[in-house]
Structures are given as structure tokens and as C-alpha cells.
Amino acid sequence: MKKTLTICILLTICWMGNLSAQVRHFTWQGVEREYIVRTPAEHDGPLPVLFFLHGLSVLISPCDQEFNFSQMAEDFGWAIVVPQARNLGMGTMWNVGMTNSDVDDAGFLLALLDSLTVQYQLDPDSVFFTGFSMGGFMTHRMAIEHGDRITACAPVSGLIYTAQASLTPVAPVRMLHVHGTNDNVVGYDGYSSAFGMNLGLGVDAILDYWQNANGCTGEPSIDTLPDLKNDGLRFIRYTYNCGTDLQHLKVVGGTHRWYHSANQYDVGYMDIIHDFFTGRGITPGVAERETGHLRVWPSPTSGVFNVQFADHNSPITEIRIYDVYGKLVDVVETRCAASLQTVQIDLSCYPDGVYFVQAGNGAVTKVVVAR
């Protein structure tokens, strides 16, 4: 019993307390479930939506206070949905298969998404999930079982539970896995020293799992984020060469906690996650990229960039621009007489993010728009 109580406390990311929050109710399978939704005061067009899944034994009202989701909704221009898990015997927890419960949390989350889509004008093509600890486990489960409805996921300090490890994802899904190397509650290697048992796939196995699902090849590129604060942490980002984006943020020295503010730490988790979701964190610090003889520069760009296909036998005749979700946003007919002629493209009217530049012969590279 003492060990169970310890885990209940340690897996909690948000402080318990009294807070008056706008808790709403949604009936699913005859049970009244709770959630909080935060939206920007003003918005034009459909809203991207971020589901935040809390940790074990957490109540959503103090969680809303800790993360200040109202301000986050304003800053992102997104809807933020914070659903409440049910008490399954060890406090509030998501059903990822650790208990004998038949609670269908995945069905609840999708039903809630459908209900809110019309009410809040949510964009069904911009659905994002993140969560901490037990919420990270559930985020992985949603990606595996319902990735065809989710744009990107970012589980933090949560693993793929053993029951899901043998499943084949329904679709590739953009994935950022965040984990601290000194986490003794949900261990980097999958073992919980606090609980005295293995909780699921370790991080290396998780990355192998998603590399296979997302069609990755070769070794990842590695960049270490600037180490400017005396926080005892190093943030190392692994970016994999995949058909669908895959990243890992390895927090060397990181424990079982959510690192909030870039004012106190070198980075804040939510900033990194939001950058990944919007595409700004996929190719950080790139001055120029060349893939299959296709060159783009500058990148990042405020909107205008140059394209050159350096192959004398294949002059550029057409350039296609896709957004990070694979939607075609522009086609440029170049009619180049010379193969090395530079073509200038202007994406100033498009939102910030990562775009894929494809030449007529199929060569592809990325350009980052960031203003």
C-alpha cells in the first residue's frame, strides 16, 4: 500500500489545491465526464486544438492553474482541452491497460473531440495530443490506435505500455517523445525504481517502434540546445529521417517533472512541443540544406527563399510546395532554360512552419518559415 501511495504522489504533475475553474461536463457511455476548454478571445477560421492529458491522481482545475491554459490559448491561438480521467482505484488515471478496467478512455477522447469540433469551430486537420507521465502513456496509445485522426503527438515522461507494444499503428503520426534520463518513476529504460517494476518499452525501444511506423532510415541528426542556465540539465534533440516527422528530446539529468519555463531552464517543454507541432522545431538552426541536388536558402526564412536544382540533366520545370500535413499549397511553373537557374518563391502569405519543396523529378527538401 505504501508503494502504491508513493506512485500516486510521484506521478502527479499538477499540484492539488482549491481553484474555481470552468469545469464542463460530457456524458460518455452513461457516465458524466469532466473537462476544461480554453480558447483565444478572438480567432479567424477553424481553431487548431491541443488535448493535454494529465498525470496520475491529478484533478484538472489545479492543472489548469499550473499551466495557465487560458494564456496558452491566447499565445498559441489554439483551443486547449484538458479532459479528466476517472478514478480507477489508484486515483484518477487513464486506462492504458494497467488495470482490469473496461473504461474506454480512447473512445471518450474522440467523442469529446467530435462534440467540441462543431461547438468551437475546431480544425479536424489540426488535432494535437500531449500529456505527462500517465498522460504520456495515454498519448502514445492515442497515437497507436487513432493516429489517423491526430496530426501530431508529444508524450512527456510516458512510455508505450506493454499491452500496446505489439500493436501496429493505424497510421504514421508525427511524434516527439520527451524524457529525462534521471527519471526514477517512469525510467528512461522502462523500469520504475519507485514502483519496482518495468512499466513498458524503454525510450530506445519506443524510438525503434516509431521509426518503423514512420518509415525512417539512417541515423538521426543530433543538435544540443544552448546550455545557458545553471539548471543541471542538457537538452539534446534527435531528428530522424522519416516519411513522417519523428523527434526525441533527451533531457540529460532530467527527472520526473515537467520543465515549464525557459526563464528558469534552458527550454520550456511546452515551447519545444508547440514548435514541433507547428513545424518550427523540425530543422532548427539550418542555414542551407541540400537534398538530392535540390538546394533551398535561406532557411529559416521570413517568407521569400531561393530554390536551385543542381543537375545539368534535369532543369527545374515545376516546383510543388506542401505544408507539414502533406497538403499541396502552391505549384510554381518555372520554365527554366538552364538547370542551375535560381527560382525565387514567396511564402509570405502562408503561416509559419515547415514546408516541403519538391522539384519536378521528385527531389524533396524542407524550408522553415519563421517570422
- For the chain, the distance separating the N- and C-terminal CA atoms, rounded to the nearest angstrom, is 53
Cell numbers 507494444: residue: 165
Cβ(313)–Cβ(338) under 8 Å? no
Grid coordinates belonging to 289: 540544406
Which residues neighbour 70 within 8 Å (Cβ) at sequence distance 6 or greater? Answer: 38, 64
Handedness of CA 280, 282, 285, 291 (dihedral sign): negative
What single DSSP character describes residue 147?
G
pLDDT tens-digit profile, the chain (371 residues): 333 333 333 344 443 333 335 899 999 989 999 999 999 998 878 999 999 999 999 999 999 999 999 999 999 999 999 999 999 988 999 999 888 889 999 999 999 999 999 999 999 999 999 999 999 999 999 999 999 999 999 999 999 999 899 999 999 999 999 999 999 999 999 999 998 999 999 999 999 999 999 999 988 988 888 787 889 999 999 999 898 999 999 999 999 999 997 678 888 999 999 989 988 666 543 333 344 456 788 877 888 988 876 554 556 677 888 776 567 788 887 765 445 567 888 998 888 877 878 876 666 677 778 77
Cell numbers for 26: 460530457
Q: Give the CA radius of gyration of the chain.
A: 22
The Cβ of residue 120 has, within 10 Å, a number of other Cβ atoms equal to 15
Q: Which residues pair with 304 in a beta bridge?
A: 346
The DSSP secondary-structure symbol of 183 reads -
φ and ψ of 368, to 5 deg: -105, 125
Helix or strand (DSSP H, E) at 66? helix 60-67
Domains for the chain: give ranges and CATH numbers: 2-278 (3.40.50.1820), 289-369 (2.60.40.3080)
pTM of the model: 0.74
